[in-house]
Amino acid sequence: MDVALNNGASTTFPSDVEDYTTQTVSFPASGSAGDTESVTVDVTDDAIEEGIEVARFDLTNLSTSGTASIGSPDRSALSIVDDDRSIAALRAALENGNQEETILEGTVSRAYGSYARFQDESGPTGASAVVVRQTAGPLSDEFQQDIEEGTIQPGTELRARGTLSAPGGQIQFDNDDLARYVVQGQGEPPAPQEVSLGELVGSEEDYESELIEAEGLSFPDVEGDSSFVAETSYTVTDGEETFAFWVGTEEESALVGEPIPTGGFTFADVVGQPGDTGDGNYRLIGLQSSTALPVEMAGIDAVQTGRSVELTWKTASETNSAGFHVQHQSESGWATLGFVESKASAGTASDPDGVRDYRYRVQRELEPGTHRFRLKQEDLDGSTSLSETVAVEVGIDEAVRLTTPVPSPASSHTTVSFGVKESTETSVVLYNVLGQRVRTLYEGTPQGGQTQPIDISVEALPSGVYFVRLHADGRTRAERLTVVR
């Protein structure tokens, strides 16, 4: 019977079991059920904790005659408990720089060609990241194939073992220095950290190899139709700061040969020190084709129609566009109201006369006041960028307005909003169920066409029913409020 190590089903590295090779055991013809034979597995102890690992061995019957059989199960497992020290956090490994063999784990943020970047949640920015570069070496073919087939992609939980080095200043597992890697599962890609160029300048090392997002960038020196060239540095600006933008080789970046945008774009990729530049300076590193190939907006507008709003926008060009999420800002943040699909064929259109018009009507009445909207454009690969924000004033279309208290019933505080179409003397008073005045909440002359909130403390009020009454311009509105204890 052969006893062979199944590397694919094992969580150990071959070196953990001294590069075990297949062993053969024999049972005597006179043997009986329950007899045992053994193989020897040498286990390597090192200074790196790898948790509990399992080496799995396949058992293969070599008998060609007789009734011998392996039975069930036909696989054996050896559990190895390693309790030396913890797997290094990425930040600690990066601070140590060049060091002895180490094991790191994290979530892949970007993977293309021969390169992958993965990060964890250590570090001053809330993340730390490292590069795996496999343009050559014993694992390069397997690594590149895993990227091409999607085994390694954004969201992949990756574990890598090897020696870190820093060619050109960027710390990485470089080619032969990668001893082994294991795909541990697939989850959600890490969210990019939102950062401006001003915040990035002077803090580049804190963001090295991490996934970031910087809005409102453009290429100030690009004129006319031109395409990205491999191993070339460009300049981007956000109107206040400038920063270098790097396009690497075709083994690293999908931008090579793609047109350089002439308008603004949102950068959503990594920061690093490309070794190919030789100067050790930090750059924004463009990796995926949507990094600098946005939808070129030709205008966005919002118009009030009654107490609703209609948004309209135009695009001058679109590249790999899936469509637009229409978002509205509230006190709790931005919320998506709906989605409008791209009108471009297969998401791409750049013909000079091909301006595309879009329209979205908000399907609900909006409270009077200022409302802000924006578009979150989504590419076919799932990456996104944000448009500028537009604001619209929704006026009061009735002479007086009073909202229902929220919450009601209330035990401590509640809020109402009121407004008048034309500026006039106004009072808002709280009454009990007997019609007795409890408290004057507002008295004055508010600005017409706008609403304003009133916070009402009810902590000192007995339980019961109350009424909030608005009086203005000879008109009265009332809303019921219930107080509970």
More confident residue, 347 or 216: 216
> What's the rounded mean pLDDT across residues 26-39?
80
One fold for 90-186 and 296-394: no
- Number of CB atoms found within 10 A of residue 371's CB: 19
Check if the beta carbon of residue 79 is closer than 8 Å to that of residue 52.
Answer: yes
How far apart are alpha carbons 55 and 11 in whole angstroms? 6
How far apart are alpha carbons 375 and 388 in whole angstroms? 8
How far apart are alpha carbons 120 and 317 in whole angstroms? 36
Check if the beta carbon of residue 116 is closer than 8 Å to that of residue 106.
Answer: no
Instruction: Of 220-224, 271-275, 444-448, give the range with the top mean pLDDT.
Output: 444-448
Q: In this model, does residue 362 exceed pLDDT 70?
A: yes
> What's the rounded mean pLDDT across residues 350-354?
52
How far apart are alpha carbons 32 and 282 in whole angstroms? 70
For residue 73, cis peptide bond before it (omega within 30 degrees of 0): yes
Nearest CA-CA partner of 175 in 228, 220, 137: 137
Q: In this model, does residue 43 exceed pLDDT 50?
A: yes
Nearest CA-CA partner of 453 in 400, 402, 397: 402
pLDDT-derived band at 85 (thresholds 50, 70, 90) equals: very low
pLDDT-derived band at 354 (thresholds 50, 70, 90) equals: low
CATH superfamily, region 90-186 = Nucleic acid-binding proteins (2.40.50.140)
pLDDT-derived band at 477 (thresholds 50, 70, 90) equals: confident
Please give the span between the terminal C-alpha atoms of the chain, in angstroms, as a whole number. Answer: 78
Percentage of the chain lying above the pLDDT 90 cut: 30
Encode pLDDT of 295-328 as tens digits.
666 678 888 776 778 899 988 777 778 899 999 9
SS3 sequence, the chain? CEEEECCCCCCCCHHHHCCCCCEECCCCCCCCCCCCCCCCCCCCCCCCCCEEEEEEEEEECCCCCCCCCCCCCCEEEEEEEECCCCCCCHHHHHHHCCCCCEEEEEEEEEEECCEEEEEECCCCCCCEEEEEECCCCCCHHHHHHHHHCCCCCCCEEEEEEEEEECHHHCCEEEEEEEEEEEEEEECCCCCCEECCHHHHCCCHHHHECCEEEEEEEECCCCCCCCECCCCEEEEEECCCCEEEEEECCCCCCCCCCCECCCCCEEEEEEEECCHHHCCCCCEEECCCCCCCCCCEEEEEEEEEECCEEEEEEEEEEECCEEEEEEEEEECCEEEEEEEEECCCHHHCECCCCCCEEEEEECCCCCCCEEEEEEEEEEECCCCEEECCCEEEEECCCCCEEECCCECCCECCEEEEEEEECCCCCEEEEEEECCCCEEEEEEEECCCCCEEEEEEEECCCCCCEEEEEEEEECCEEEEEEEEECC
Q: In this model, does residue 64 exceed pLDDT 70?
A: no
pLDDT at site 276: 57
pLDDT-derived band at 339 (thresholds 50, 70, 90) equals: very high
Percentage of the chain lying above the pLDDT 70 cut: 87
Instruction: Of 98-107, 284-293, 382-391, give the range with the top mean pLDDT.
Output: 98-107
For residue 352, cis peptide bond before it (omega within 30 degrees of 0): no
Domain 400-483 has CATH 2.60.40.2550: yes
Say which range, 50-64, 248-262, 359-373, 450-464, has the weakest mean pLDDT: 50-64
> What's the rounded mean pLDDT across residues 235-249?
91
More confident residue, 9 or 155: 155
Average pLDDT, the chain: 83
Four-CA torsion 175, 178, 180, 183, nearest 10 degrees = -80
Four-CA torsion 126, 114, 161, 171, nearest 10 degrees = -50
Q: Locate the domains of the chain by residue range.
A: 1-86, 90-186, 193-285, 296-394, 400-483
pLDDT at site 293: 47
Check if the beta carbon of residue 246 is closer than 8 Å to that of residue 283.
Answer: yes
pLDDT at site 275: 64
296-394 CATH pick, 3.40.190.10, 2.60.40.10, 3.40.50.150, 3.90.550.10? 2.60.40.10
Encode pLDDT of 387-422 as tens digits.
778 888 777 767 788 888 999 999 999 999 898 888
Encode pLDDT of 132-179 as tens digits.
999 999 999 999 999 988 889 988 999 998 999 887 778 899 999 999
pLDDT at site 102: 86
Return the biggest CA–CA distance within the chain: 112
Amino acid, res. 447: Q
